[in-house]
Chains A and B, each alone.
Chain A
Amino acid sequence: MTPENQPSLPSAAWKPRIVAFFCNWCTYTAADLAGVSRMKHAANLRVIRLMCSGRVDPQFIVDALAKGADAVLIGGCHPNDCHYAEGNYKCLRRYQMLQRLLADMGIEPERLRLEWISAAEGEKVKRVVNEMVETVTKLGPLGLPQKFAQWDEEMEHFAEHVAAGEAAADGGCTEHGTKTQPLETAHA
């Protein structure tokens, strides 16, 4: 449900969208196990399988958020169990700093979660996903694409103002003077 402080976002229709990066050897297999065991969990997850949690580039996480995900879940092998020996530690270290950076950038820590889930822990996938959907539902939408568009409204307003001024002064070019430039988005 949309909290009152974000009135511009669609309310009733909104459900959290969570992007999950699962490692091939443990967590993805666990999610598969949850499936074949016919466990039911919230369906808000978009799972992306990577070979290792050590492959989760912080750019993937932030790009997911910037493109409209409300939260990101990373799943990897337990410490000492990484198929590639060290990948999950690399992931943990990046995660620790990324949490600090995201906090400085105004993103709640609950929107990024790292869990160690072994191939046998289908039940844990179910629990973690359900918990996370509940938490993010309470937080409400992150809505970054909408925010970026809002931020750029100040430019559109100003472009209109300039165009109007030029038209009034008749100093503008007839071809371009009254047209505003297309706005570059952050991800062009």
Chain B
Amino acid sequence: MPKPKVAFYWCASCGGCEETVVDLAEDILGVVEAVDIVFWPCAMDFKKADVEAMPDQSIVATLLNGAIRTTEQEEMARLLRRKSQVLIAYGACAHLGGIPGLANQFPREQILRYVYEESPTTINESRQRPQLKFAENGREVALPELHNVVRSLDQVVDVDYYVPGCPPTPKLTKAAVTALLENRLPPKGSVIAPDVALCDECPRKATKPADIAFTQFKRPHQVLMDPEKCFLAQGVVCLGPGTRSGCEAACTVGGMPCTGCFGPTSRVRDQGLKMLSSLCANVAPKEEADINQVLAGIPDPVGTFYRYGLAKSLLRRKVNLPAE
């Protein structure tokens, strides 16, 4: 019997998700034994044309990481969707838009101008920008175009499953691949991670106060943090209560508060708003001016509450930006 075919692909992401696949370490040998990797540009020499030549639905599963931000990424997402029986959004960017989704606060022109002209490390006196088409010696080459809007994978094509995290852990990756190979998949649309908040598996949970009244929000670099006490009890913003568990509390064990990369649980539609609701309701003062003084300790609400989830939030993008 031929081995099931599997593909990996990356779009707008940093490469950390590919790293996690490699972090399976010896376990990857078991995976390679069980499946045929037919496409993985990061590690193996297959081309787009090879995928195009495959019959539709011939790939059992594609694990795609990264947000969809360029025409090329969109084209590949559509192609791989067509060729795959199961499409898995792998990692925070494919799942929620991720860090690239924060670009949805700015117009495309401003981003291009900053990157190619204004950033302190850019020297570009002739103000050259990448051109979509360029002809030389009668041959034309083309570059993909940047979309105005950064999207999660499911805002572009139909997605079967989500493996969350920035990056997903090797353990979750293995669980997803095993479920796939053994045909024990959960209902379509599931996020393959426990459906409870991070606090559930956080070792600091015992010190989480039942009643919290913030008089000040402190940022991690401004305070010497107790290594065992709940971050919220120390006045440090931790997104654990509004974030899905499954990471084995990697950050809070490592001494940093949760920033929300696993996204919300299934009961929450908009992780950022839910977390805003929970944190701010527990501010101590009752007068407007005093409340605002405490809330000033969160200088960047969008970056704090939507660090990974802006593209997938209810508003998706700053609403007064141009569509073109």
The smallest C-beta distance from A162 to any residue of chain B, in angstroms, reads 5
Residues of A within 8 A of B291 (CB): 92-93, 96
**B320 within 8 Å of A by Cβ?**
yes
Contact B78 A181, beta carbon cutoff 8 Å = yes
Measured CA separation A104–B292 after assembly (Å):
16
The verdict on A57 contacting chain B, using a C-beta distance below 8 Å, is yes
A176 sits at the interface (CB 8 A)? yes
User: CB within 8 A of B274: which of A59, A101, A173?
Assistant: A59
Check A104–B302 contact: CB distance below 8 A.
yes
A151-B316 in contact (CB<8A): yes
On chain B, which size bracket covers the interface?
35 or more
In this assembly, does A66 line the interface, its C-beta being within 8 Å of a C-beta of chain B?
A: yes
**Candidates A100, A152, A186; contact of B301 at CB < 8 Å:** A100
**New A-B pairs, 6, CB < 8 Å, besides A92-B291, A104-B302:** A57-B274, A66-B315, A93-B282, A98-B280, A144-B319, A171-B52
- CA of A33 to CA of B243, assembled, Å: 43
Residue of A54, A57, A101, A147 with most partner-chain B CB within 10 A: A101
- Asked whether any CB of chain A lies closer than 8 Å to the CB of B277, the reply is yes
Question: Which residues B145-166 have CB closer than 8 A to chain A?
Answer: 147-149, 151, 154-158
The proximity string for A residues 57-100 relative to B, scoring 1 for CB distances below 8 Å and 0 otherwise, is 11100110110000000000001000000000110111011101
Indicate whether A97 sits within 8 Å of B158 (C-beta atoms), given known contacts A58-B273, A151-B323, A173-B56.
no
Q: Min CB distance, A163 to chain B, in Å? A: 9
Q: Does A13 contact B (CB under 8 A)?
A: no
CA distance A3 to B290 in the complex (A): 37
Known contacts A96-B292, A162-B75, A162-B78; A106/B301 CB under 8 A:
no
> Measured between C-beta atoms, what is the minimum distance from A167 to chain B in Å?
14
- Provide the residues of chain A in CB contact with B320, threshold 8 Å: 106-107
Residues of B within 8 Å of A14, CB to CB, are none
Interface size class of A (residues with CB under 8 A): 35 or more
**Complex alpha-carbon distance, A188 and B314, angstroms:** 11
B314 adjacent to A184 (CB under 8 Å): no
List the one stretch of A20-28, A42-50, A153-161 in contact with chain B: A153-161
Give Cα A2–Cα B14 distance, bound, in whole angstroms. 43
Does any Cβ of B come within 8 Å of A105's Cβ?
yes
Instruction: Tell whether A59 pairs with B315 under 8 Å between CB atoms, given A106-B321, A154-B148, A155-B156.
Output: no
Residue B250 CB within 8 A of the other chain? no
Query: B149–A57 contact, CB under 8 A?
Result: no
Minimum C-beta distance from B77 to chain A (A): 9
Shortest Cβ distance from B150 into chain A, in angstroms? 11
Closest to B56 in A: A173
B149 x A79 contact (CB < 8 A): no
